[in-house]
Structure formats: C-alpha cells, structure tokens
Amino acid sequence: MEAKNDSTNARATEDRRGFLTKLPTLGMAAGLAGGYGTFFGMAGSYLYPAASNNKTWLLATHLDNVGPGQAYPFRTPAGEQVVIARVGSGASAEDFIALSSVCPHLGCRVHWEAQNDQFFCPCHNGTFSRDGAPTGGPPKDANQALIRYPLSVRGNLLFIEVDLTSLTT
C-alpha cells in the first residue's frame, strides 16, 4: 500500500488488470463449455446402449429332472444353450451350476465331449472342465471360465436368470 512505486507491485497490478480483462472471456468459455458440453454429454448417454434390463427369472425345470451328477440341457428364449448340472447332493441353488455354451475367448459355441469329459470349443481348441473351468487352449492361458448363469430354487422348482434380448424374439 505504501510502496506505490515499487516495481513488483506495479507488475502485480498490471497482471491483475490483465486477469480481470480476461475473466469475462474465460467465463464465457466456461459457460459455453458447461452448457453445450452437458448437452452433448446427454446426447452421448442417449446413444450409449443401456445395460440390458431384459433379464428375467425363468423356470428351468423340476429338481427331479436333474439327478445328482446328471446334466439337463436348457435353451433360453433367445436361443442360448445352457447346460444345467447337479454337482451337489443337496437341493439348494448351490448344488446346481448352469454354464453358458458361449466360449469366453471369442464367442464361438462350445459343445460337450463325453469321451473326453470336457467342453470343447472348435474355434481355437479351447477346453473346459465339467464345472466350466478352463483346462486348455486360449481360455486356459487367459484364465477365462465359461459364464455361469444365476440359479435359484423355489419349492421343487429350479429357476434360471437369463437375458431375453435377441433379434428373433
């Protein structure tokens, strides 16, 4: 305050004035970026496909239809092949597993090879054990297991949660 002729002080005043003249420009840029930015952000969220909400619980089968150690083939309405196997001795959801037939490597269809006791993917010779764990080929290298579907038991019925999204339904 007292040192009016101090050179540093003068420079500071100049800087402040420069900043003050720039403030409306910055504000304007911020206002425009904020408004239109949000608008286009919303456009992005409009275009980005929403997470599938087409999941639903369907009746898979009666518990009696899958004895211990047995497998039951289920096809989802969207055409997905699912293998439901009873791995435990009890009758709770944990005693069953439902495995997708889509190879986690690049999306080909695996099939069950009874003679080798494994699931086999013909695209890149990936193999999976009975419970879906990768045992050979690219899936083993990347440690990608077959996808398991959620199961639940109500009374004597086994329900499976599947996605209904498909072009055909």
Q: Which residues bind another protein (CB under 8 A)?
A: 21, 24-25, 27-28, 30-36, 38-39, 42-43, 45-47, 50, 53-54, 56-60, 62, 74-79, 155-157, 159, 164, 169
Separation CA 68–CA 118 (nearest Å) = 18
In the complex, minimum distance from the CB of residue 138 to another protein, in angstroms, rounded to a whole number: 29
Nearer Cβ to another protein (24/107): 24
Q: Which two tokens stand for residue 149?
A: 């579907």
In the complex, minimum distance from the CB of residue 109 to another protein, in angstroms, rounded to a whole number: 15
Nearer Cβ to another protein (118/163): 163
Q: How long a stretch of residues is the chain?
A: 169
Nearer Cβ to another protein (10/58): 58
Q: Who contacts 149 (Cβ-Cβ below 8 Å, separation ≥6)?
A: 82, 98, 99, 100, 160, 161, 162
Q: DSSP secondary structure string, 7-20?
A: HHHHHHHHHHHHHH
In the complex, minimum distance from the CB of residue 81 to another protein, in angstroms, rounded to a whole number: 9
Q: Residue 24 in contact with residue 121, Cβ under 8 Å?
A: no
Separation CA 50–CA 160 (nearest Å) = 22
In the complex, minimum distance from the CB of residue 93 to another protein, in angstroms, rounded to a whole number: 16
Nearer Cβ to another protein (54/70): 54
